[in-house]
Structure 1
Amino acid sequence: MKKLLHTNHFAEMLRFGFVGVVNTLVDIGVFSLAIFLGIPRVFSQVAGYLAGTINSFFWNKHFTFRDKDHTDILKVMLFVGVNLVSLGASSWGIFLLPLMGMPLWLAKGCVTILSLAINFFGYRWLVFRKK
């Protein structure tokens, strides 16, 4: 455990957590606004997720993983791929969980946690991996 606390990976995890909180606030803010405006929940999920994703790429590249590589086209494509997987999983969840009786906001919390896990490991191992 001591070794983990003193590694660059732990610092990345902390920065990812901070960026994740900001992304989640952006996501929930856009999602809530869309729901308030009467947009169906799956489309609201997509809108919120996309807003958080745009924010996420910038902050994770420059702050979390401190990526200095300028070959961003491949990174953007990988980032989009990871986020499409995450978006698909979260959209199915936000559609299915309320149908199974889960309150919408609890379902939103569950799919947010699922997305967080998919995104961290996808970003760390695919998008911003160290050479």
Structure 2
Amino acid sequence: MAKKLKTQVLQFGFIGASNAVVDILSLNILLLIWPTKGTGMLLTFNTISYILAIINSYIWNTKFTFSHRATSDTREMFLFIIQASIALVISNLVFIGAFQLLEVQPLLPIPSFINQNIAKGLAMFLSSTASFLLMRYLVFRKRETRQTE
């Protein structure tokens, strides 16, 4: 059990790294094309980049990390969307909250683009942790088989 969990955490970590690349790269492309500090646009950009990363996550996690549990049925897809939505809310709250805190702190004047990336890193860490726990214990949980007597 412990070995399987370690393997899943490692696989999830590698997939998480690819998700991070998709997430950060897409956010930064949007910020480079349309620089902004506006909360509405930042939420939109974060949501777009997060959705791209979550699509990447679903593809890789169903093929590798949770392949022994993945069924790709309607129930699983519904639960995946729920967990992704919860993780997106966490991501957006942390991203906007951290960005706003970094922007108003008086100690170090840091460019907004750097603050946005620091905030994105924090948001990714917390939302991916929640995502892993939700996928392991809700979406791809081990289905109990009933033994007939």
Q: Do the two structures share a fold, i.e. TM-score over 0.5? A: yes
Deviation per residue, 1:1-57 (Å, 9 max, x gap)? xx83xx111111110000000011011111111111216221110011000000111
Query: Against the structure 1 CA distance between its residues 90 and 70, is the aligned structure 2 distance closer, same or farther, given a 3 Å change threshold?
Result: closer
Q: Percent identity?
A: 28
Q: Is 1:113 paired with 2:109?
A: no
1:70 offset after TM fit, Å? 3.4
TM-score w.r.t. structure 2 length? 0.79
1:126 offset after TM fit, Å? 0.5
| 2:16 counterpart (8, 13, 20) | 20
Q: Partners of 1:121 and 1:9 in 2: how far apart?
A: 11
Q: What RMSD, in angstroms, separates the aligned Cα atoms of the two structures?
A: 1.7
Comparing both structures, which one devotes a greater share of its residues to helix? Answer: 1
Q: Within 5 Å, which residues of 2 pair with 1:53-64?
A: 53-64=54-65
- The aligned counterpart of 2:51 is 50
Higher relative contact order (CA 8 A, sep 6+): 2
SS of the aligned residue for 1:21 comes to helix
Q: Partners of 1:129 and 1:111 in 2: how far apart?
A: 25
Q: Partners of 1:127 and 1:17 in 2: how far apart?
A: 18
Q: Partners of 1:68 and 1:111 in 2: how far apart?
A: 27
Unaligned runs of 5+ in 1: none
- The aligned counterpart of 2:108 is none
> Based on CA coordinates, which of the two structures has the bigger radius of gyration?
2
